[in-house]
Amino acid sequence: MTSLAGFSLGSATQVSAAHDLSGKTLIRFITHGGYGLGNSQTVIARHAPRAQLRGGFSMQADQERQTMDRVNRWLGEMPALRALR
C-alpha cells in the first residue's frame, strides 16, 4: 500500500502514534516558505522506522494556483495514481 504523506513535520509523531505504518510506502509532499524538504526524511524515518520512504515533492508555495497546478501535475506523473483513474 502506498500513502501520500502531506502534513507538518510537527505532526509526524501524532501520525505515527495513531497509525501503524509498518510496510507502508510513504511519499512526502511539502510546500514551504523557502526551506525545501528540510529534515523531513530524517523526522519521518525516526517516527515510522518500518515504513518505506520514497522520493518527495517540494515546492516553495508563494502562490496558491501555481502550487495546485504543480502538485496536480506531479500526482498525474505517479504510475500508481494513474492506474486509479
The pLDDT assigned to 19 comes to 78
Amino acid at residue number 83: A
Residue type, 28: R
More confident: 4 or 9: 4
Cut 0.75: pTM above it: no
Range of the domain at 48: 2-82
Q: What is the mean pLDDT of residues 10-28?
A: 74
Query: What is the number of domains present in the chain?
Result: 1
3-state SS class at 22: coil
* 28-81: pLDDT as tens digits: 777 777 777 777 788 888 888 898 888 777 777 667 677 788 888 888 887 776
Residue 6 banded pLDDT, cuts 50, 70, 90: low
